[in-house]
């Protein structure tokens, strides 16, 4: 082999290696039959916007090939005051993720939470008229979708419109427009960008009743010839519940409606359930301590092992449905930044994610 030949052999090898391991070198994403995603926090987006290089951003690039902003693209941050859009943080995030070749999802166009007060109300706090709400929805959705056109692969168009008992959530949107607020939201999004994926997203899919209503939304939109690409199952679960079968049933149900599914916000809380807490003030401290059993940031090895096994079981189920699953996204990078540390009880120490507080991949992530 002459020098020229050996250089071209080396170049070919380098290209093949890059292709095999992905542009951002090997990590968890390279072992998955679907995209592996992570929600990016406001603090991380701030680092991106300021050009800071951090361990967190390196970990994200190496291990994930799909991202979504945990908060920065919700209605409140994007249009805090009617008519005043602020895209700075979101633009920095989306440009960064596009540059790094990650599938970028938009979260969220219409959600009853993190919604600025002006959106559904009049000057005196009363519900606004039907026409006013439709006008505001159309303006917000079209402005936002158009702004990110070609840079965001898809949007959660509507989030959490259905209750656990299968009824529609009595949100302001619902009170003013009825269930058709969902149809309007999908219509406006599609008109703004016909190429954009449109998703419905919700939590608590262990409820068959909830899933039935979501499936009926999919059917309704499809029967009107409208676009809906998939249903997102948030998957905020616990170490001991719900059952994997209940989620597998949900996946089968939605797939039978002819749409894709995605696991959009996965985390597994290891802390005791706080629901049913007494309101009796004198018992508060005792309850707080009981509810926060591992406050020093060290999870006992046997609980960590249980957590790893629970993640592995769920990923085995996801792998079985890989042909229908667009992505599996975890709701935050490391335990220190999880929303679960402050919800529903503020100031706890939870361990729900794939990366430890000292920014190391948990050893059991190798088995996912
Ligand atoms: O993780 C988000 C947290 O930082 C915000 O304070 C909260 C605001 O309501 O929203 C959290 O993310 C939610 C997501 O947008 C929709 N599904 C439930 C998530 C956890 O509450």
Per-residue pLDDT tens for 93-135? Answer: 999 999 999 999 999 999 999 999 999 999 999 999 999 999 9
pLDDT of residue 14: 44
- Which residue minimizes the CA distance to atom 4 of ligand 1? 339
Percent over 90 (pLDDT), the chain: 88
- Active-site choice (70, 82, 265, 286): 265
**CA dist., res. 92 & res. 318, Å (int):** 32
Nearest residue by C-alpha to atom 6 in ligand 1: 339
Ligand 1 atom 13: residue of nearest CA: 70
Question: Residue 133: left if φ>0, alpha if ψ -120 to 50, beta else—which one?
Answer: alpha
Confidence tier at 240 by pLDDT (50, 70, 90): very high
SS3 assignment, position 273: coil
Q: What is the pLDDT averaged over residues 320-348?
A: 96
265 is catalytic: yes
Distance 69 CA to ligand 1 centre (A): 10
pLDDT tens string 6-34: 545 544 444 444 444 444 569 999 999 99
Q: What integer is the mean pLDDT of 27-53?
A: 98
pLDDT at 171 over 70: yes
Q: How far apart are CA 322 and CA 319, in angstroms?
A: 5
SS3 call for 238: strand
pLDDT beyond 50 at 173 = yes
Select which of 160, 197, 206, 257 is catalytic: 160
Average pLDDT over residues 138-159: 98
Closest ligand 1 atom to the C-alpha of 74?
Answer: 15
Average pLDDT, integer, range 168-174: 98
- What pLDDT is stored for residue 277 in this prediction? 60
pLDDT at 190 over 70: yes
| Interval between CA 39 and ligand 1 midpoint (Å) | 10
> How is residue 152 annotated by DSSP?
-
Pocket probe for ligand 1: among 70, 116, 162, the residue whose CB has the most ligand atoms within 8 Å is 70
pLDDT reported for residue 22? 44
Q: How far, in Å, from the CA of 261 to the mean position of ligand 1? A: 20
Measured between alpha carbons, how far is 75 from 90 in angstroms, rounded to an integer? 12
Radius of gyration of the chain (CA): 22
Residue nearest to atom 12 of ligand 1 (CA): 70
Tokens coding 113: 């939470």
The reported pLDDT for the residue numbered 289 is 86
Note the pLDDT tens digit of each residue in 281-297. 666 667 788 899 999 99
* Predicted pLDDT at 100: 98
Which tokens in the block code for residue 49? 């916007």
Residue 338 CA, closest ligand 1 atom number: 1
State the DSSP string of 178-206.
TTHHHHHHHHHHHHH-TTSEEEEEES-TT
Q: In the structure, which protein residues have their CB atom closer than 6 angstroms to any atom of ligand 1?
A: 70-71, 113-114, 159, 234, 265, 339
Q: Give the ligand 1 atom nearest the CA of 343.
A: 21
Active site residue 286: no
Q: Any bridge partners for residue 237, and if so which?
A: 268
What separation in Å is there between the alpha carbon of 247 and the centre of ligand 1?
21
Lowest mean pLDDT among 25-39, 66-80, 263-277, 321-335: 263-277
For residue 177, the tally of other CB atoms under 10 A from its CB is 19
Instruction: State the Cα–Cα distance between residues 109 and 200, nearest whole angstrom.
Output: 10
Instruction: Give the model's pLDDT for residue 288.
Output: 81
CB 334 within 8 Å of CB 359 = yes
pLDDT at 20: 43
Residue 196, pLDDT above cutoff 80: yes
273 confidence band (pLDDT: 50, 70, 90): confident
Q: What does the block give as tokens for 329?
A: 């996204």
Q: How confident is the model at residue 35 (pLDDT cuts 50, 70, 90)?
A: very high
Nearest CA to ligand 1 atom 8: 114
Q: Which residue has the least CA distance to atom 10 on ligand 1?
A: 71
Do 219 and 258 contact (CB within 8 A), yes or no?
A: no
Mean pLDDT over each residue of the chain, to the nearest integer? 93
Q: In angstroms, what is the span from residue 1 Cα to ligand 1's centroid?
A: 59
Question: What is the C-alpha separation between 353 and 365, in angstroms, rounded?
Answer: 10
- Counting every residue written for the chain, the total comes to 368
Token pair, residue 47, equals 């680092």
Query: Average pLDDT for residues 237-250, to the nearest whole number?
Result: 97
């Amino acid at each position: 082999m002459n020098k020229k030949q050996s250089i071209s052999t080396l170049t070919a090898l380098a290209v093949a290696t890059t292709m095999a391991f992905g542009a951002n070198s090997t990590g968890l994403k390279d072992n998955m039959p679907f995209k592996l995603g992570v929600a990016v926090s406001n603090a991380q987006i701030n680092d991106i916007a300021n050009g800071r290089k951090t361990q967190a951003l390196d970990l994200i690039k190496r291990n994930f090939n799909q991202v979504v902003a945990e908060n920065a693209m919700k209605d409140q941050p994007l249009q805090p005051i009617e008519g005043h859009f602020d895209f700075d943080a979101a633009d920095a995030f989306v440009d960064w993720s596009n540059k790094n070749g990650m599938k970028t999802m938009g979260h969220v166009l219409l959600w009853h939470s993190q919604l600025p007060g002006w959106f559904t109300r009049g000057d005196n706090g009363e519900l606004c008229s039907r026409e006013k709400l439709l006008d505001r929805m159309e303006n917000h959705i079209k402005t936002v979708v158009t702004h990110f056109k070609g840079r965001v692969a898809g949007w959660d168009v509507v989030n959490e419109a259905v209750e656990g008992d299968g009824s529609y959530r009595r949100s302001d949107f619902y009170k003013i427009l009825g269930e058709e607020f969902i149809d309007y939201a999908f219509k406006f999004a599609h008109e703004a960008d016909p190429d954009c994926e449109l998703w419905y997203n919700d939590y608590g899919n262990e409820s068959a009743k909830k899933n039935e209503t979501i499936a009926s939304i999919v059917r309704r939109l499809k029967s009107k010839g409208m676009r809906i690409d998939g249903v997102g199952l948030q998957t905020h679960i616990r170490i001991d519940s719900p059952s994997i079968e209940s989620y597998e049933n949900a996946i089968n149900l939605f797939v039978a409606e002819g749409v894709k599914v995605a696991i959009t916000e996965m985390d597994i809380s290891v802390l005791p359930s706080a629901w049913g807490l007494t309101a009796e003030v004198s018992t508060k401290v005792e309850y707080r301590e009981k509810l926060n059993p591992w406050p020093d940031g060290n999870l006992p090895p046997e609980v960590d092992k249980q957590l790893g096994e629970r993640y592995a079981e769920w990923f085995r189920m996801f792998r079985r449905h890989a042909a229908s699953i667009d992505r599996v996204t975890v709701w935050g990078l490391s335990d220190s930044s999880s929303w679960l540390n402050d919800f529903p009880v503020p100031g706890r120490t939870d361990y729900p994610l794939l990366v430890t507080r000292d920014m190391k991949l948990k050893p059991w992530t190798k088995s996912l």
